[in-house]
Structure formats: C-alpha cells, structure tokens
Amino acid sequence: MLNSKFFNSFSFIKGIFYTALFVLIFLASITYRHIKELENIRESMLKTYEVSLELEKLISYIKDAETSDRGFVLSNDSTFLEPYSNARDKVNNSFFILRKATEKDTLQQVHLNTIYNLVDRRFVYFKKEFSTRYEFQDNLRTGKQIMDSLRLEVNQMITNEKKQIHNNDRIYRISKSNTPLILFSTFLISILTIVLGYLKISKNYRRILKSNRQLKIYDELSNQSQKLGNYGTWIYHISKNEFLFSENYFNLFGLNPKTTPHKMDSFRTLIVTEDKEKYQKSFEDSLTRTDAPSITFKIKRKDTGELRYLRTKAKLITDKNGIKSLICTTRDITDDYKKALLIEERNQELEKTNMELLEFNHVASHDLQEPLRKIQTFISRIEDKETENLSENGKLYFDRIKSAASRMRILIDDLLQYSRSNRSQETFTSVDLNLMLSNSIAELSETISEQNADIRYPELPIVKGVEFQLEQLFTNLISNAIKYRKPEVDPVIKITWEEITASKETDIADNTNRKYIKIKFADNGIGFEQEFAEKIFNLFQRLHSKTDYPGTGVGLAICKKIVENHRGYILAKSIPNEGTEFIIYLPS
C-alpha cells in the first residue's frame, strides 16, 4: 500500500526527472573531463618542449661563454668577450623561464637548483688571464667536469619530461576507450528514465482531473470566507483586457453575479461622483506601479441605495513568462469607518478638555501672582522699616518667609512657562538656531559672566520650529549646565551638531530613513547616575536639595515638552563628577 502511494506520488515523478537531469549532468561532466585531459596533455607537451628547448639554449649560452673565454685567452682579442659579457643575462633569463615552467614539479625544481649551482661554478672558472700553463690546463679540466655534470642534469630533466608525456598518453588511451561505453550507458539510462516519467504522467492524468474537482470545492470555500470577511477579489489580465470578479465582489456592490456583465463599468457606475476620478487614477497608477497604495471610496449599493465605504488594494504581478496581471482585494470598511469617526469625535472632545485644562492652568497661575505680589510688597516694607524691631527669631522667620515667597514666584513663572510650552499648535517656520543661541547667551549674560562660563559652539543649522520655544530650550540647557557646575571649576559647555539618519541611531525609537539634526550640549559639571537619566525630565523632579542647588524641577520638563512639540527626542547621558551630555534630535 505504501509503495503504491509512493509510486503514484508527485515526489516520485519529480525524482524520475531529477534522476534524468543528474544523468545528463554526469554525461556533461564526463565530456568536460575528457576535454580537460586532452588540454592537460597538450599543455604538458608544450611545457616539455619549452623546458627541453630552454635547457638546450642554456647549454648553448654556456658554450658561447666558454668559447668566448678561450678565444680571448688564446688571441687576447677583446672582440671575443662580447658573447661572454651577454651570457650571464641570457642564462638568468633561461633560469627564470625554466623555474616558471616547472614550478609545480618538485623533482624538476631540485634538478634545476643543481643546474643553477653548476652554472654558477662554471662561470667562476671562466678566466681571462692565466699565469702558468698548468693553471690553464687545470681550469680547462675542471670546467669540463662541471660541463659534464651539467649535461647529465639537463638530460635527466629531459628524461623526466618524457616520462610525464608517457603517463599522460596512457591516461588518454584509457579515457578514450572507456568514454564511449560510459556515454552510451548514461544516454540509455536517461532515455529509459524519461520514458518512465512520461508513463507516470499519463497515468496520473486522471488524478489531475480529480484534483480539479477538489479545486472547485476549495473555490466555494474561498467564496464563503469572502462573505464572512466581507471582502471580494478581482483579477485583470492586461494583455487580454479581461476582468474576472469573485462572486462576493458583486455582493459588495449589491449586484447579481449571474446577470451583471463582468466588466469594470458595471461597478464604476455605483461609485459616488466625487470619488470616481480618484478611483480611475488609482486604477491607472496600479497598471504601472508594483507598490500602488490602497484607496478608500464610497459607493451606493444597487439593491438598497445604501452608502458604503470600500477600501481596495491592487498589486501588479508578472509571471515567469513575462505576462502581467493586476490582482485586487476590496473590503467593506463601513463599520470601521464609523468607528474611526467616533474615535475622532472623542479625540476632539479630549483635545477640547486638554485646552480647557491648559487655560485653567494659565489663568490659575496668573491669579496666584496677585496675592503673591502683595505678600512680597509687605515683605519689602517690613524689611525697610521694621527689621530693627524684630527679635533674632523674628528675623530668622522673616528671612524664611522672604525665601519661600521668592521660590513661590519662581515656581509660578516656571509653571506659566511650562503651560506655554505645552501648546504645540503654533505654526512652524524656518528658525535660525544661531540667532536662538545668541539670544539665550544674551539673556544669561550676567550669570555667564559671574560664573566665568566658557560656551563653545560652531555655526548651527536652520530648522523648522517655533522660535520662542527653541530659544527657551537653549536657555534652559545652558542655565542647567551652569547651575550644576563643580565647585571651584569654571563651567565649560560644548555645543556640537550633525545630520543623521534615524535608522542608524540606536538611542531613538525611529527605524525609518528620516533625517534629524542631532545637537549635543556637553558640560564638565557634577553629573549624575545614569539610572536617573529619564527621571530628570519629569515635572518637579530634582536630584539635589533646594539648599544645595536652587530650582523648581520644571526646567528640564519644559525642555522635553518643547522637543516633543517639534516631534523630536531628547535624552541625557552622564557620569558622576565627569559631566553631562544632553542630546536633542530635531527633524531635519
């Protein structure tokens, strides 16, 4: 039973054709190997010829040098020295050619090294002048011995090359005798395998018909799922100018699929007038773009006249034959659209409530200033006229009242500033950050001078934003750096910037290719533990006591709100006793 299923399976048929393909590839590899062997034999013969020829040349060059040397010694004629002078260069060139030709043959390289040493010795015995006849005869005899050894090594190299040719010739004969048998066998196996595959395909034709019947069942299931999902599909075969619509696509428009023509005009007539042009343009764009966006349009159902909202998404595909088709999915999103309208209405109500809260905060802060102003007025009068009449405890309590009122004034001003920065509906304009920084430095000039602060900065870029908010951002960051200075150390603030791509920055939650202006404010102050890097941006959050470092804990909260209003990011990095770095990302 299992064998029957396997032999009737599609995997078995694929296996047959894969086997046939493998056999054909094997045949190709046999042919290729045979050709490569012939090429190797040819290259070996050429190499042997080259080596033999160059060895003969080498002997010839040495003989020329030897003859030249003897001729000069016998005749003392300098014209005999010309071959001798050129012989060394020619010999070196021959050795270069021989080493390259035999570089893969270790044995030949050994012989070649021996020849090189013998040639070198032979040149040592070349001499232009001799003091005695015995010296001439001894030189002649030694030179002959070296030349005999040299010829022996050369002959050995030539013999080795001939042996290699003999081995290659034997391999070639074996390959030549076996190749026809292998080719015939593999071709026969390939033909039998292909025939077997053809018979199996014929046998399975009936199974394909059965599968088609099952496909119809699956098609019906698809129609049911479209009805449950409230969507429909269609295909446009561009080359044939032919549309195929699913049954539920007709149902979305309130049409009868049995009586309605399968044409796009049958559906376009039901699209409301103001959306027809948009729909047509989207359809035309989809014919040329593979990434056309989805569109939402309104229709009036044919059967009920009810207004419905549909969303459609089309995609252009190309099959392996280069034929293009447009496939589309359309879904009824009327319920989702109504929910979105409800959410938008709730958001508007929430926005209205937020505006009322901001207005209340603003008014309340202003109203608090009036009684505080009177308190500070009476404090001033008591300080001018009644201070001497107070006891020591009275003076102490009076100073505390005065300090508390001053902190109250600062807190109200900071709350007003926070309320102002919390409103992000201002229109963005081009803002020169150089001007904003200049204004901030001018505003803090007295503090900068008193603390001997050094502010270093390059020329800054132009961004889109709200001028007064960006100026307040710079002012708060510079003021914060000066406030948290090290005792007895002049504050140094370094401002730098660069343009970056969001996806390359790990510190911000933006994986797009959006561009940002990254601005750094680095100081040499007291710093803080990195675990508090997020806490410091919360409203009224402080890391130090009011007596050590005065403030309300609102300044950095204002900075965060301003950066968020500009759809940017702000973060802090710090090391205790080494300084703090505030990093701002503003959209470029």
Return the HEC string of 3-27: HHHHHCCHHHHHHHHHHHHHHHHHH
Helix segments in 300-453, DSSP class H? 334-385, 392-421, 433-443, 445-450
Helix (H, G, I), strand (E, B) or coil at 558: helix
Q: Are 331 and 311 in contact (CB under 8 A)?
A: yes
pLDDT the model gives residue 550: 52
Encoded tokens for 394: 């009275």
pLDDT the model gives residue 97: 80
Closest CA to 460 of 499, 493, 509: 499
Q: Are 490 and 544 in contact (CB under 8 A)?
A: no
pTM (two decimals): 0.40
**Residue ranges of the chain with per-residue pLDDT less than 50:** 1-2, 545, 547-548
Residue 488, sorted as left (phi over 0), alpha (psi -120 to 50) or beta, turns out to be left
pLDDT the model gives residue 134: 65
Q: Are 84 and 40 in contact (CB under 8 A)?
A: no
CA distance 248 to 228: 10
pLDDT the model gives residue 510: 83
pLDDT the model gives residue 545: 47
pLDDT the model gives residue 497: 92
Q: Are 570 and 559 in contact (CB under 8 A)?
A: yes
Which DSSP letter does residue 151 get? Answer: H
Closest CA to 583 of 575, 571, 566: 571
pLDDT the model gives residue 130: 54
pLDDT the model gives residue 498: 92
- Determine how β-strand 492-501 pairs with β-strand 454-456: parallel
